[in-house]
Chain A
Amino acid sequence: MDLILVNLIDGLVTGLLLFMLSAGLTLIFSMMGVLNFAHASFYMLGAYFAYQISLFFGFWMGLLIAPVIVGVMGAGVERYGLRRVHQYGHVPELIFTFGLALLIEELVQFLWGKNQMPYAVPEVLHFTAFSIAGNSIPAYKIFMIFVSLAIFMALLFVLTRTRVGMIIQAALSYPKTVEALGHNVPLVFMGVFGVGTALAGVAGVIAGPVLGTFPGMAFLLGSIVFVTIVIGGLGSLWGALVASLLIGWLTTFAASYNVAFADILTWIGFTMPADLDDSMWRDLWTLTMPQIGPILPYLLMVLILVFRPHGLLGKREA
């Protein structure tokens, strides 16, 4: 029972981290129709910049400055790259971000080398907040939860309660009309892209110390972010939140419980073959839940796309 509580907390941390990435991505998608493949690369840049800044000014300055740099870079990519490619259509746009992801990974390796960076949790937060049945919950995790919740609140507030948010929401549905009303829609696009990538940057800054800061970190997270927003429904902020938490808990619980397929198969009524090593189905019999945990989100996505193409909370079709 205690372990369930611990897993709930761990899954919440993973889910909220995922949400910071998917929130930006889904905003960008709903506004511009671009699936930004380089989104996780901005997450990686956030971690690397923060590490570099933390060497000179400490962790907190990194948390403040790195996302800003990442956001400015994101805005620059929109202004000088995407806007140019936009005229060719959606597929080239997508391919552009795909190439950009490769390029950013190469640049990171060029600048920082290929090894893990010793980017660590700040001393202030390096203690155990509390423990449940011998399982300690580091204070840093609590900090991560608060940062991501604060960001979600702020986003929700900006989008629903401010003038800028209204313009963004309007530009989502009727970009031409909004432009006709005298608003600078390209500027709004650039801003949204910048803010979206800055959010990814924040995620990188706070995830770098716990998940590791290395050139492969973007690739590791890249496709799962897509899966999240597709499951949640493209363009839906609440959908992104629900899907992120769902995936966070799904992967955490799958990794936590060694449910063996042999048990399930026996329960259904199959009998285990006597000479397991020669059986064609030996891999099925020895399979356990943690082995397939990380691919469950993909399975979920395929099922959702087949049966409910607009995702859990999405209003329009992907």
Chain B
Amino acid sequence: MTDQTQNAPRFGGMNTAAVAPWVIAAAFLLVMPFIFTSNSAITIMNQMSITIIFALSYNMLLGQGGMLSFGHAVYMGVGGFFCVHIMNMVEDGGLPLPLPLLPLFGGLFGLGLATIVGAFSTRKAGTVFAMISLGVGELIAACSVIVVAFFGGEEGVSGDRTYGLPVFGVEFLQQIEVYYLIAFWLMLSALLMYLFSRTPVGRMANAVRDNPERAEFLGYSARWVRFYSFCAAGFFAGIAGGLFAINYEILTEENLNLTQSGAILLITFLGGIGFFFGPILGAIVFTLLQTVLSLQTELWQLYLGALFVATVMYFPGGLAGLLMMHAPALRSGRAGRLVLPYIKTLGPALIGVLALAGLIEMTFHLRHASLGDHHMTLFWVDLDSHSLVPWLVFAAIMAAGFAVMRRNLPELLSAWHSANATGDRS
């Protein structure tokens, strides 16, 4: 696990390099709805933003604190459930509250639950912590179907966000208004989480992760450092839950269960736990795969699983780790040398992988499509899954793609070495 200090600019001196990514990100969030105007694109972006906050909060545990949790969804879920109940109280007229403040309450309830659970679960790290998180997660998820008064059973609890006090005349009727609300909270939470990682507690979390004994010798209680990280993670997960409540106006059992907790682990690891921006990448890629790829193919989970296993096996640093591998070459100005070999290797590899996916899709079609239904559309081409030609074509493309990749791989490797090797010494 690489520590982010080496790669991210230090916060202390408020120089432009430190501020620039945040300004660019904010500008991005402002402009995005003008590029993608459809409601569904905005809904997907909302989902992405919520997942980003959730994944960042998860990485406070896994990446920064070295605590593997199998039950992080409950903090988001419980925060969200409280927010829906508050929303309903507002609707009943008992509580005048502007909607944008709601996520704060979600955060506080997430924090409250994390304080209780953290009190006994953070005494140990490692397997003990992981298993307690699994047990607590399972218990609370099971409660959601038993305690109907609060969790609403299987159908969940729903509310209506439009009854809050209007803020500058905005009643949050439209998705776009919700988008900007979520974007605001995304920037705020991401910034706060980043700043947290720069505080002494955040720093000590890294130290405790890497070597708890040494941290103890320095006079820090590993347990309390873990506890603070855990509470902070619960707080931000609760904020994500509050935003979920605002965006979907409903919370159900799925917000609490093991699947959700597992998904956030996948997302965070896919993005890369070693860097602050890793979970952001993971959340974006995962949401796109889940909502967009699933429109294209029934087999999306198969591809997702394969992608995930491949990531763990070959790029344990995740997407962020992969990107940051290029930082030295970029700094030394030799990154240009990599472009051509990349195209020559990854281009064919991509074609090969797509052809392989094509073969898998055809197999699936052959096995599961209706009788007499031979036609399928693959990569915008109509073909007959029962005739030999498309099989041969796809197999040939795949073989050719991988063969070219193999042939060009040495070239890429030598280009890689030349781009990186002398970087520091010269």
A contact set with B: CB distance below 8 Å = 35, 81, 84-85, 88, 91-92, 94-96, 98-100, 102-103, 105-107, 110, 113, 223, 226-227, 230, 234, 280-284, 287, 291-292, 294-295, 298-299, 301-302, 305-306, 309, 317-318
Contacts and interface: CB of A to CB of B under 8 A. Distances in A.
Nearest to B129: A305
A123 B181 CA distance: 64
Contacts of A226: 131, 134
B313 A305 contact: no
Contacts of B309: 81, 96, 99-100, 103
B308 A223 contact: no
12 contacts: A84-B313, A85-B313, A95-B312, A96-B313, A99-B266, A103-B302, A110-B299, A298-B134, A298-B142, A302-B132, A305-B131, A317-B124
Interface string B395-419: 0000000000000000000000000
Contacts of A298: 134-135, 138-139, 142
B425 to A, nearest CB: 27
A284 B143 CA distance: 11
Contacts of A96: 309, 312-313
A101 B105 CA distance: 36
Given A91-B68, A107-B302, A306-B132, A295 B313 contact: no
Contacts, number: 108
Interface string B128-148: 101110111011001000111
A226 B360 CA distance: 33
A36 to B, nearest CB: 13
B56 to A, nearest CB: 18
B262 A318 contact: no
A305 B68 CA distance: 15
Interface residues of B, number: 40
* Interchain residue pairs A-B with the least CB separation, the first 4: A103-B305, A302-B135, A106-B302, A99-B308
A299 B146 CA distance: 15
A275 B313 CA distance: 58
B55 to A, nearest CB: 14
Given A99-B266, A280-B149, 14 more contacts: A85-B312, A95-B266, A95-B312, A102-B305, A103-B308, A103-B309, A106-B299, A106-B301, A283-B147, A283-B149, A298-B138, A299-B139, A302-B135, A305-B131
Interface centre among B127, B132, B135 (most CB of A within 10 A): B135
Interface in B48-73: 62, 66, 68
Contacts of A81: 309, 313
A283 B120 CA distance: 27
Interface in B353-389: 360, 364, 368
A94 B269 CA distance: 12
B323 to A, nearest CB: 18
Interface in B147-162: 147-149
A76 to B, nearest CB: 14
A30 to B, nearest CB: 12
Given A305-B135, A309-B128, A317-B124, A113 B306 contact: no
B139 A85 contact: no
Contacts of B301: 102, 106
Contacts of A317: 124, 128
B128 A318 contact: yes
Interface string B302-334: 101110110011001000000000000000000
Given A35-B127, A283-B147, A283-B148, A113 B305 contact: no
A98 B146 contact: no
B204 interface: no
